[in-house]
Structure 1
Amino acid sequence: MFKGSIVALITPMDEKGQICRSSLERLINYHIINKTKAIVSVGTTGESATLSQEEHVHVVMLTLELADKRIPIIAGTGANATTEAISLTKRFEKSGIAGCLTVTPYYNRPTQEGLYQHFKAIAENTELPQILYNVPSRTGCDLLPETVAKLAQFKNIIGIKEATGDLSRINKIKELVKSDFLLISGDDGTALDFMQLGGQGVISVTANIAAKEMMQICSYALKGDFIKARSINKRLVLLHEALFIEPNPIPIKWLAKKVGLIKNDTLRLPMTPILDSTRLQLEKAIQYANLKIL
């Protein structure tokens, strides 16, 4: 369940900024139909930064309810305070989620020892599988391979979402961990190269509107058929790039509305509506990708 194309799901909202149940159900069904391997609920793309903890828990539990055991759900449970990350993780004990995606603490820029102690404390307070999440461009700190190796010794720390875009990280981590430790890309643009170097999949933003294509790319890559994987990925290159012209999830929410997957592209401040110039680039990218949404 933790290999292949995993979607970093957007959190759909109505025009007043409240969670839109009908759009969320449509998104979940779309991913089940297109054989996405798992859903990450309320990660970065799911706007965890602008949801209260109660809303955060509500969205994860609603996603579980609507999925109805048809697809595994991974809960985003990261926080910049260790006690808060532990508290949020424990809210999902025995809930039915498949595991947790836990981002490195952001803003306070901990040392490598601080990062180790943070994830160690979480792992010791839950039996839920933990996937580390390293995204220095957003958090201001970098979880180095040597620290990952120390954390991989905990039985419930099962892998890492590596979103630096630095492909040299794969071999550095692989050399230090056991073969069953999961290496998952967090960067759509380099995900295929990541898998060719030994990664097992991607937690994808692009999959929000290209679920079938991302599933196919990962499926072919994991079988070693990189010719077919690259032929599909070639159509998505412009889309991978355009989705990050503005901060995620501004572009992906607008596109999801445009193709009819959600009713509104509502965002909460400080996220702001998409720029006209970005729309033009997204329209070109979606046309080039030639997607079959439904």
Structure 2
Amino acid sequence: MSSTSQSTRFNDPKVYAGAHTALITPFLNGKVAWDDLKKLVDFQIAGGINGLISVGTTGESPTLDYDEHIEVIQRMVEYSAGRVPVMAGTGSNATTEALDLTKRAEEVGADAFLLVAPYYNKPSQEGLYRHFSVLAESTAKPIMLYSIPGRCGIEIAVETVVRLRKAHRNIIGIKEAGGQVEKAARLVRELDPEFLVLSGDDSLTVAFGEVGAQGIISVASNWLPAPVAKLNQLVQAKKFAEAKVLHHQLAEIFKVLFVEPNPVPVKHLMHRDKLIQSAEVRLPLCEMSEANRKLVESTADAYKSSIR
């Protein structure tokens, strides 16, 4: 496929429905492990994942320096080679910084942008509207909003999402990670049918799907891409009874991956299964306690036993 046809295809909002992996950034001896990253991209695509998120929260964006941030995006675009879209995390709590990151990510080939609500400085809804408007006006490529009040201290209100969508049609959806099914239902009701509502919580994939959400941006799929992709396929086909059976098999995994800060537990499991060379994270994140390590491993072992 030519780069032009690839670019056109990934401008279609429909390609951002489905199961997307918020991919980890693998490290080895303090540096980004590029060989591991390439293998992970292939592993995800082979598992049926519809798209990849580069340098989001799970990708440890806060502890990547600027050059690393851009290079991870560039390499993921290169490694995916047009097979799936790569959505780059380019949000910031400074509009000028988010604008610069978005422009640089576009220059290195990102297909779309995931823009988190500004954190720490807690802007008003009007401030959020102006922030995202500046970013939407800077590119013709698709933008996915990201509301995660537990990390940011604020949410992107439904009314603000509606207002942004009316003003900027390249704002194609929202990753909703506030844990509120009713908010997802409101977003589905109050936005046009083409607007995408994606769950930001693996444990709510089915519940969000039942109220009309169109996919998931997953942490668990780093370790289990095929089961997460299958779960999403069942949900989108409205085969909720089958989806709930699979969800119950995965439920304890979804829970235990957050027993310590993400992505510490999922990196541990990936290293244990030799998907990456090291479970390294960067300070202020650190390895799990011994008690939580045993809990994560025993939960993973129980899951594997249940599917044999």
TM-score (norm 1): 0.96
Structure 2 equivalent of residue 227 of structure 1: 241
Out of 270, 274, 283, the position equivalent to 1:269 is 283
Partners of 2:305 and 2:282 in 1: CA distance: 28
Q: CA deviation at 1:163?
A: 0.1
Structure 2 portions without partners, runs of 5+ = 1-14
Query: By how many angstroms is 1:289 displaced?
Result: 2.1
The structure whose residues are more often helix, as a share, is 2
Aligned residue for 2:172, secondary structure, equals strand
DSSP 3-state at the match of 2:16: coil
8 Å CA contact 2:198–2:214 kept in 1: the answer is yes
Indicate conservation of the 8 Å contact 1:43/1:75, yes or no: yes
Q: Which amino acid aligns with 2:53?
A: V
Does structure 2 conserve the Cα–Cα contact (< 8 Å) formed by 1:103 and 1:133?
Answer: yes
Residue correspondence of structure 1 range 18-33 to structure 2 within 5 A: 18-33=31-46
Q: Distance in 1 between matches of 2:185 and 2:238?
A: 18
Which residue is 2:99 aligned to?
Answer: 86
In structure 2, distance between residues paired with 1:98 and 1:228? 33
Q: Within 2, Cα distance between the matches of 1:94 and 1:88?
A: 10
Tell me by how many angstroms 1:9 deviates: 0.2
* Superposed CA RMSD: 1.5
Whether the aligned pair in 2 keeps the contact of 1:57 and 1:91 (CA below 8 Å) is: yes
TM-fit CA distance, 1:292:
11
Match of 2:69 among 52, 56, 63: 56
Is the 1:132–1:160 contact (alpha carbons within 8 Å) kept by the matching residues of 2? yes
CA distance in 2, matches of 1:113, 1:79: 17
Partner SS, residue 290 of structure 1: helix
Equivalent position of 1:205 in the other structure: 219
Aligned residue identity for 2:72: V
Residue of 169, 185, 192 corresponding to 2:183? 169
8 Å Cα contact 1:188/1:205 also seen in 2: yes
Q: Is residue 123–residue 156 contact of structure 1 (8 Å, CA) maintained in 2? A: yes
CA displacement, residues 228-286 of structure 1 (integer Å, 9 cap, x when unaligned): 21111111111111011111111111111011110001111111111111111111221
- 1:260 alignment counterpart: 274
The residue aligned with 2:6 is: none
Q: Which amino acid aligns with 1:39?
A: L
Counterpart pick for 1:103 among 113, 116, 135: 116
- Which is bigger in relative contact order (C-alpha 8 A, separation at least 6)? 1
TM-score by length of 2: 0.92
The answer to whether 1:130 aligns with 2:143 is yes
**3-state SS in 1 of match to 2:106:** coil
The count of aligned residue pairs is 292
Match of 1:218 among 232, 242, 246: 232
Tell me the distance in 1 between the aligned counterparts of 2:56 and 2:305. 25
- Give the distance between the partners of 2:170 and 2:116, measured in 1 at CA: 16
Q: What is the Cα deviation at residue 95 of structure 1? A: 3.7
What amino acid is the match of 1:98?
A: D
- Specify the SS of the correspondent of 1:155: coil
The question of whether the paired residues in 2 share the 8 Å contact of 1:38 and 1:72 is answered with yes
Tell me the SS of whatever aligns to 2:27: coil
Structure 2 partner of 1:250:
264
Query: Equivalents in 2 of 1:284, 1:4: separation in Å?
Result: 30
1:92 aligned counterpart, secondary structure: helix
> In structure 2, the residue corresponding to 1:119 is in which secondary structure?
helix
* Pairing partner for 2:52 from 15, 24, 39: 39
Identify unmatched segments of 5+ residues in structure 1.
Answer: none
